[in-house]
Structure 1
């Protein structure tokens, strides 16, 4: 029997084709060289900043550590400052998987595999979502491509790998738009668990979709308390396993506060560095201003949402989307870069919201919902066959518009980019790696001077270090460590097997004051002051 568009066999084949198209798009845009797990030069090139190096370090220290409880603890990366694989932004879901199978397959980096998976899942779920409007294969495949070929996701995959998991948002949107079933509660629990093991920014968005769906299905009887317990518990379990709760303080970070990285009201139509068919408009200038443009083709598709009449059962979803949009705009809205504070917020509330300080990202759910509504509106207006051709044309418009963005992506991880040159090149370092098992950076800091070459050197030589870059860190622990190490150095009590990199005048003065004649050596190598305890005994 020949498969038809309504048959399960046809649906499976078409869905697989959409997923392959999504993965192929990632390969075209980023290159095959990022995929092999042994290919690490593109991560360690440092061409787009320290974040990919941070992810690589988190994983490479984590895989050397024994399993712990909770399993996400990462004591080798940070020593007293260490937290967990969660705060290294190394995608705990994959870190757990590849650490578990490490006896069978050692994976130096899994982010290339992750990029492929994000492209495939984004396309497949986009295909499912367009399928709510039509079974036309051209429309569904074209719609799937529009969900992949757009800057909101690609901008994240170009460096903030975990945040590229926009398929979590599409999964949540799909569950919120479709009728219930017996697998619905396990589906939500699995989605929330996955989000908690990928990135904390995406988790509240997923939970918002679940809240809307729960509101829509109010009156589900005895299942309601079970679902209200199970789904949040899945998220808490994932956060606990990944090591989210190991910090007592520092969740808000030390950078921009809530209301300083908000969405400009023109951001959805501001092409910025991504498109060339629409102009670049004034903006607030913060680092997230590239994150809300979806491309001209996707914008045109979203415009067809005007032809969709709101359905009563979707009002909870619309309310939740509106609240997330309000959070993205914040109490300090901006128009073409001009900010105004509508009303003050209590300092305690600002502090709490600052844990999600890059609030512009909360526009993503609305943008995806508008694309789905646009597909529905287009199909209702033009009919399935013509709607499919129009959506295919919109893919062409999208590709043409985003040429500047594609060139930008190609510059992130070029195949010929050299691995970051070792900054610790003096022969001393290799000799020291044979004598010392730990290397400290004094004073302790999160992303302090020389953190990157020290941490990379330690990872490659299987040493432990407190030279770290973490998404969040415990400020109190940092201050305690600073005082303790400075006192040790000044009193001539260095820790056995520990090398010290001295990053300021106070630490250098303390090392000189406590230097033990004939035992400890002070060097100035590669532009860095170093204290090598007991170096004199062995040289």
Structure 2
């Protein structure tokens, strides 16, 4: 009891910052997300990512242990081996919860509690860092309250709030703050830690990064390099400089091996490009070329930086003395910011919305770098470092009362700048309907299928995890202990998955229920299966299914492509119509077509001023333009036919505008004619 009281007394201000973070979380998300048996809110998210994170854990939980790969998952893409690492299911938590599986409820999620933990850690570590930089002593109550207010800037950091329950593992911004704390607080303490203790701390950080999300490995690794630069400047010896890096890398690599990162099928695919950050975007919102490249650090961060600079100018002598005493740390911090800038920009340097130049780099380096292809995320490190440093300097160079007011203003500004996102989350997570079961699989026959014992595997005819019915079917399989042959994985070789799934249809198994989603129905007569339809979904089985009415053999109707999923250049698109202007181009969604003969009909207007063709080809490989035979040519309708003796992967139809005559496309339908 005495030790607990002493701990609470010593860390009371950091715990207050953690409490602030927890309160913000509860205000935004409420308490229902904390219920470990409540999962519908995860599956109801309009983004498929939360479903991937949760269902990846469910499949992993029901997959057997296969040493030495504790993180191996044999149920998500059966019968192949994947890893819990690639479903972004927070691997460390998944492994621990799987070990405790016998005492956990059958339906269990840890994402809600993880979210609360992330916000609390963000607030507690931010307070500790701000107080340290601000030179605040534990007994200085006013300044400590000011540091808690400053922690609000980090609790409302955009990357944390936007990624939470979207890319949930990526919401672990506190890992960066923890690395900064080890460097700026623990390593700078009066009792300077030994090299052995440094190795232990950074080894633990390597363990956490590899076990939570891989993108934190380079971010935390760069903080470690900065800490080593400082030790080198202080001439603390080669061991103090090199061994912590060795510890960090060795622990991370060992954990990745145990998690099965290097032994997973379909993993290791690189998309071959870098989505870099526009560094001006740290202070100017909206400059990110995409949602993934938006790295805005928030209005409150910008305000804190401006106020910190003003304080430094007003108290120039005091500032000069401060930086003189901390020269080595300042130099290391500059090195850190430069490293982060290079890593996060990619090889195409963009600033203020303009591309300045592109640096040609060897393919070997590109292949390695592209493992972190969304490298703009790495700029979160710079944003958080600037936020905590600026808030700390405001605390140090403004008097106590003024600093408290200014940091409160910064926190309020941070929330104001993020008000649209915060309001959206509050509205969503406080809506009772968000916690209701909204699965499309409502026919009682689904439960009969599960209880019959006839099936233990679900197999999709093709690889299409973006379809509306996909996640409902996968959730059904996971909930009932079945395996699935298709799942979405991070860093996944989609080409290999597409080819593999198509090949599996050559050998049909009686314990497998086959799902033909949308365009896959075009191939139904190619396979000797008994067909059934539940909730509009075509299902196939090698053996008859007792109690279900078999769907009679019929001519396969044409299937219509979803125009809103098309890629459109110089034009507009909605659910019903695509309009192309001069220089316009339409490229339809990608379909998988099995061998056979097909007819494609395009309806609209202006086709006599267009160029139309079909193409197919695996991602980032050669695209093949197809030989097609036009059987109908008119301004309002174009019809072409083609045949294929092999599966066509990522098949698309393209329409190009040849002049300034508008082209309108209202329907594109595909039918199998042989």
Q: TM-score, normalised by structure 1?
A: 0.86
Alignment of 1:155-234 (within 5 A): 155-177=162-184, 178-179=187-188, 180-182=192-194, 183-218=197-232, 219-222=236-239, 226-234=243-251
Task: Tell me if the contact between 1:451 and 1:468 (Cα under 8 Å) persists in the aligned partners.
Answer: no
Q: C-alpha root-mean-square deviation of aligned residues, in Å? A: 2.7
- State the shift of 1:363 in Å: 1.1
For the residue of structure 1 that corresponds to 2:200, the secondary structure is helix
Q: Tell me which residue corresponds to 2:455.
A: 436
Deviations 1:456-508 (A, max 9, x none): 110122211113111132457525633532322xxxxx213111113476786
More helix by share: 1
Larger deviation: 56-65 or 95-104?
Answer: 95-104
Residues 1:471 and 2:490 aligned together: yes
Displacement of 1:166 in angstroms is 0.6
Conserved in 2, the CA contact under 8 Å of 1:172 and 1:209? yes
Structure 1 Cα separation of the partners of residues 229 and 102 of structure 2: 46
Matched, 1:523 2:532: yes
Structure 1 segment 365-384 matched on structure 2, within 5 A: 365-384=381-400
The verdict on how the C-alpha distance between 1:481 and 1:164 changes in structure 2, with shifts beyond 3 A counting, is same
Q: Give the Cα separation in 2 of the matches to 1:521 and 1:407.
A: 50
Matched with 2:101 is 102
Q: Which residue of 1 aligns with 2:374?
A: 358
Distance in structure 2 (CA, Å) of the matches to 1:81 and 1:420:
31
Paired with 1:395 and 1:131, the residues of 2 have a C-alpha distance of 16
> 1:93-127: CA deviations, max 9, x gaps?
11112222222333611111001100111111111
Instruction: Decide whether aligned partners of structure 1 residues 505 and 37 sit closer, same or farther in structure 2, where only a CA change above 3 A counts.
Output: closer
Q: Distance in 2 between matches of 1:108 and 1:171?
A: 28
Deviations 1:123-165 (A, max 9, x none): 1111110121232212221122221022121111141110010
Change in Cα spacing, 1:264 to 1:299, as seen in structure 2 (3 Å) is same
Note the C-alpha offset of 1:527.
Answer: 3.5
**Residue 413 of structure 2 corresponds to residue 397 of structure 1:** yes
Question: Cα–Cα, structure 1 residues 375 and 483, in superposed 2: closer, same or farther, change >3 Å?
Answer: closer
Pick from 322, 336, 342: which aligns with 2:358?
342
Deviation at 1:232, TM superposition (A): 1.2
Deviations, residues 203-254 of structure 1 (Å, cap 9, x unaligned): 1111111122123223435555643432211111222232221236643444
Q: Deviations over 1:409-438 (max 9, x none)?
A: 224434411445222334443333222110
The residue aligned with 1:113 is 113
Give ranges in structure 1 of 5+ residues lacking alignment. Answer: 1-6, 272-280, 489-493
Give, in whole Å, the separation in 2 of the partners of 1:81 and 1:476. 15
2:130 corresponding residue in structure 1: 130
- Using the alignment, how far apart are the partners of 1:507 and 1:448 within structure 2? 14
Residues 193 and 235 in structure 1, CA contact (< 8 A), matched pair in contact too = yes
Distance in 2 separating the partners of 1:447 and 1:370:
38
Residue 278 of structure 1 aligns with which residue?
none
SS of the aligned residue for 1:184 comes to helix
Q: Structure 2 length normalisation: TM-score?
A: 0.70
Q: Following the alignment from structure 2 to structure 1, what is the Cα–Cα distance between the partners of residues 162 and 428? A: 11
Indicate the SS of the match to 2:82. Answer: coil
Separation in 2 of the partners of 1:481 and 1:134? 60
Name the structure with the higher strand share: 2
| Contact 1:152–1:364 under 8 Å retained in 2 | yes
How many Å separate the matches in 2 of 1:228 and 1:80? 38
Q: Answer yes or no: is 1:454 the counterpart of 2:473.
A: yes
Write the distance in 2 (CA, Å) between the matches of 1:252 and 1:189.
28
Q: Is the 8 A contact 2:295 2:377 kept in 1?
A: yes
State yes or no: 1:532 paired with 2:541: yes
Q: Is 1:482 the equivalent of 2:501?
A: yes
Establish whether residue 18 from structure 1 lines up as the match of residue 17 from structure 2.
yes
Aligned-partner SS, 1:522: strand
How much does 1:405 deviate?
Answer: 2.5
Match of 2:327 among 301, 306, 312: 312
Deviation at 1:383, TM superposition (A): 3.1
Q: How far 1:23 moved relative to its partner?
A: 0.8
Tell me, in whole angstroms, the C-alpha distance in 2 between the residues paired with 1:317 and 1:249: 39
The superposition leaves residues 274-306 of structure 1 with CA deviations (integer Å, 9 ceiling, x where unpaired) of xxxxxxx5x3541224x4223322221123453
User: What residue number does 2:613 align with?
Assistant: none
- What's 1:295 paired with? 298
SS of the residue aligned with 1:217? Answer: helix
- Aligned-partner SS, 1:341: strand
Counterpart of 2:581?
A: none
Q: Tell me by how many angstroms 1:393 deviates.
A: 3.0
Alpha-carbon distance, 1:89 to partner: 0.5
Cα distance in 1, alignment partners of residues 104 and 266 from structure 2 = 37
Identify the structure with bigger relative contact order (alpha carbons < 8 Å, sequence gap 6+): 1
Rounded Cα–Cα distance in structure 1 between residues aligned with 2:363 and 2:34: 45
- State the secondary structure of the residue aligned to 2:459: strand
Rate the CA distance shift 1:269–1:215 in 2: closer, same or farther, 3 A.
closer
CA distance in 1, matches of 2:495, 2:346: 30
When structure 1 is superposed on structure 2, of 94-103 and 190-199 the one drifting more is: 94-103
CA offsets per residue over residues 51-72 of structure 1, 9 Å max, x none?
1111110111112223332111
Change (3 A) 1:45 1:155: same
Is this contact kept in 2: 1:134–1:384, CA < 8 A?
Answer: no
Mapped to 1, the partners of 2:466 and 2:86 lie a distance apart of 13
Q: Once the 2 structures are TM-superposed, how far is the Cα of residue 526 of structure 1 from its aligned partner?
A: 3.4
Q: Say how many residue pairs are matched.
A: 508
Query: Counterparts of 2:198 and 2:119 in 1: how far apart (Å)?
Result: 24
Q: Which sections of structure 2, spanning at least 5 residues, go unmatched?
A: 1-5, 137-142, 313-318, 549-674
SS in 2 for 1:499: strand
